[in-house]
Amino acid sequence: MTVGRSSSFIKYFLRTLLCALCLWPALAGAQDWNYRVRPGDTLWDLGAAYLKPSIGWQQLQQHNRIDNPYRLPPGELLRFPIGWLRVEPAPARVLAVRGQVELSAADGSSSRAVRAGEQLHIGDAIQTKADSSITLEFADASRLQLREYSRLRLDQLSRYGRTGMVDTRLRLQQGRASNRVTPARGPASRYIIDAPTATSSVRGTVFRVSAGDDAHAGATEVLEGKVQVGNPHGQRLVHPGQASRSAGSGTAPEAVSGLLPAPRLRADATRLGALPAQLAWEPVTGADHYRVEVVQAATPEILLFAADTADTRLLIGELPPGTLRLLLRAVDAQGVEGLDASEDFVLDDQPPPPLTISPLQGQAVNSDRPRFHWSQAPGASSSVLQVADEPQFLQPLREQSTGGTDLRLGQPLPPGQYYWRVASRDDQGHQGRYGQALTLQLTDEPVDPALQPPEATDGELTLRWQAGSDGQRYRVQVDRRGDFSAPLLDTTVDQPQVSFKRPWRGTLHIRVQYIDDDGHAGPFSPAQQVKLPCRLCYGASGGALLLWLLL
C-alpha cells in the first residue's frame, strides 16, 4: 500500500468512527428492550406503563406479531423499541457534602450552598472549594464523588420509565471525579463523562477522571471494569489497572499505561481506630506524591478526609465515628493516580470527650506552663490533653495524660496563640474522639496585682493587692534598693495582704508572685514603689495613715 493510499485509509477510518459515535443515540433508538411476561400481564397495561403516550398498545402487538392480545403466555419475551419507551427526568440526589460546595442552578438563580439530601437537575452545575467534596447518586444507584477544586455540569439526567435504563451524561469542566457505575440494565443505559480533552463511556465500572490543567493532561484511571476513552481523533479501551492520558482535544488519547502499584502500609508505624490516626507506608518507585483519603466503608463514595502529601507519614487528627475505610495511593509526576491500598477500621466515639472548664475560649494566660481544667466524662478513667499551634492538630506540640480532671503542661511554651483539646479514655485504654478545640493566648506580660496604697497603723505597715483565683497563694517581697537581692521582707501568705513592722523612712520596692494550688509559681509582678515619710511625722498620731504609692 502506498503512503498516499495509507493516509486516505486512515482519514476514512477516522471519519467512519466519528460518524458511528455521532449516530450512537440513533442506533440505540433502533434497538429493542426486552421484557419477560409475568402472570396477569396485558398488552394495554404494559403499554400504559412503558410506552410514550403517543404510542398505542396495538403498535406493540404488531411489533411482536401477537395474534391474540388477550393471551400473553408467562415467560414470553416482548420487544419494546427504545424509541417508543417513556422518557422521564431523573434528578440526581446529593448524598453528602463536605466543606464548601456551590450550586449554579439551570434556572439562572444566584449561586448558593448545596445541601445534603436535595435533588439536582439537568443543566445544574456544582463547584467545590478547598477541602471540599460532594457525592451524587443517580437514578440507577450509580454514584459520583467530586473532589476539591472541581466543577461539574449535569448535561443529561433521564430514565426510560420503569425499565431500569438510565441515561446519565456529565461534563467535568475542572478537577477530578471518582465514579462507581451500576452495570447497565439494557441497551439504552449510558453513563458518560465529557472532559475537556476526551469522553469516557462506561456500562458498569469503577474509575476516576481528571479534567487536566495547565500542568497535567487529563486522565482516565480504571479500577474495575472497562472504560472507552475517546475524542474525534481516536479511541482507547482502558482495562482495570490502566490509565489513558489525553493531552488535548486536538489529539487522540495516549496509549494506555499501567497504574502505579498500591503503597504498602507499615504495620509498625500505622495506628488506626483511635485519634489521632497515625499512618506510615513504604515509598513507591515513580511516585511524585501520595493521596490519602478516608471514606465510609459502607459508602466509599462519601469522602470524610482527604490530603495530598510528599511524605510517607501522616497524622489524621479528626474523623467522625463509625466503620471507616482508609484509601492510600501513589500519584506520578503527570498527576495520574495509582491503585489503592485499602484498610477498614472502626473508630468509636466512646467514651465521650469531657466538657472544658478553663482556660476559656480565647483567654490570655500569663504562664509558659498553663493549667487546664475539664469535667469527668461518663465511662472515662483518664484523659488526654493535646496542644498545637494549628487547628488541625496534625503535629501536636504537647500531649499529656492524667487520671484527674486538670493538668499543667510539663514543658514550657513560648508566648503565642495555641489550640487545645481533650479526649477521654476508658479502663481498657480505648480513647474516644477529641472535643472541640479552643484557642489559647499565652503571654509573658506579668500579672498586675493592683497594689492598693499601703496603710500604716500601730507601728505596722499593711499591704493589700488584688486577689487571685481560688486556691492561689501569694509570695510578696519588699526591698529597699529594688534589686531584691536581700529583701527586707520575703514571705508567702494565703490571703492577698501582709503586715510587717514599719520601716523608719525611705522608698520601698514591692512585688507579688501568684502561686497556684499545685505549687506552680508565675512570674513576679513589676515592682511598685512606696514613699515612706519620716517615722516621727506619722508615729505621734497613733492613727492610720495612707502612704504614697509610686508606680
Give 480-532 pLDDT, tens digit per residue.
989 999 999 999 999 999 998 888 778 899 999 888 888 888 888 888 888 88
Task: Tell me the percentage of the chain whose pLDDT exceeds 70.
Answer: 91
The tens digit of pLDDT for each residue in 291-330 reads 999 999 999 999 999 999 999 999 887 888 889 999 999 9
Measuring CA to CA, which residue among 105, 93, 101 is closest to residue 166? Answer: 93
The tens digit of pLDDT for each residue in 8-35 reads 444 434 443 443 443 344 344 458 999 9
471 in the same domain as 433: no
Alpha-carbon dihedral sign for residues 445, 450, 451, 453: positive
Task: Judge whether 501 lies within some domain.
Answer: yes
pLDDT reported for residue 300: 94
The tens digit of pLDDT for each residue in 178-231 reads 999 999 888 999 999 999 999 999 988 999 999 998 889 999 999 999 999 999
**Burial tier of 70 (Cβ tally within 10 Å: 0-12, 13-18, 19+):** exposed
* Mean pLDDT value across the chain: 88
For residues 169-173, average pLDDT: 97
Three-state DSSP state, 24 = helix
Q: What is the DSSP string of 56-99?
A: -HHHHHHHHT-S-TT---TT-EEEEEGGGB--EE--EEEEEEES
318 in the same domain as 250: no
Task: Judge whether 518 lies within some domain.
Answer: yes
pLDDT reported for residue 534: 62
The tens digit of pLDDT for each residue in 359-394 reads 889 888 888 888 899 999 998 999 999 999 998 787
177 in the same domain as 249: yes
Q: Is the pLDDT of residue 70 over 50?
A: yes
Beta carbons of 373 and 406 less than 8 angstroms apart: yes
pLDDT reported for residue 13: 40
Q: Is the pLDDT of residue 1 over 60?
A: no
Task: Judge whether 7 lies within some domain.
Answer: no
461 in the same domain as 426: no
109 in the same domain as 239: yes
For residues 249-265, average pLDDT: 95
- Strands 166-174 and 190-194, by their bridges, are parallel
For residues 262-272, average pLDDT: 94
Measuring CA to CA, which residue among 347, 351, 413 is closest to residue 386? Answer: 413
> How many separate helices (H) and strands (E) can be counted in the chain?
5, 44
92 in the same domain as 77: no
Task: Judge whether 410 lies within some domain.
Answer: yes
Q: Is the pLDDT of residue 469 over 80?
A: no
179 in the same domain as 48: no
239 in the same domain as 134: yes
Domain end among 63, 84, 105: 84
Beta carbons of 104 and 125 less than 8 angstroms apart: yes
336 in the same domain as 213: no
- Higher pLDDT, residue 111 or 276: 111
Domain end among 321, 347, 373: 347
pLDDT reported for residue 548: 54
Domain end among 347, 382, 403: 347
pLDDT reported for residue 151: 97
Domain total in the chain:
5
What's the rounded Cα separation, in Å, for the pair 508 and 65?
118
Task: Judge whether 120 lies within some domain.
Answer: yes
Three-state DSSP state, 334 = coil
- Higher pLDDT, residue 338 or 273: 338
253 in the same domain as 158: yes
203 in the same domain as 94: yes
Supply the CATH number for residue 521's domain: 2.60.40.10
- pTM of full prediction above 0.85: no
pLDDT reported for residue 545: 55
Beta carbons of 259 and 233 less than 8 angstroms apart: no
The 3-state DSSP composition of the chain as helix, strand, coil percent (nearest 5) reads 10, 40, 50
Residue 27 belongs to what domain range?
23-84
Q: For residue 47, what are the contacts with CB-CB under 8 A and spacing of at least 6?
A: 55, 56, 57, 60
Task: Judge whether 226 lies within some domain.
Answer: yes
- Higher pLDDT, residue 98 or 466: 98
pLDDT reported for residue 521: 83
Most confident of 31-35, 70-74, 202-206, 337-341: 337-341
Q: Which three cell numbers stand for residue 211?
A: 479534567
Task: Judge whether 17 lies within some domain.
Answer: no
Beta carbons of 383 and 421 less than 8 angstroms apart: no
**Where are the strands (E) in 84-183, listed by range?**
88-89, 92-98, 101-104, 112-113, 119-120, 125-128, 133-137, 143-146, 151-159, 166-174, 176-180
Q: Is the pLDDT of residue 41 over 80?
A: yes
What's the rounded Cα separation, in Å, for the pair 414 and 367?
9
Three-state DSSP state, 194 = strand
DSSP run (H or E) holding 18: helix 3-22
Alpha-carbon dihedral sign for residues 469, 473, 478, 482: negative
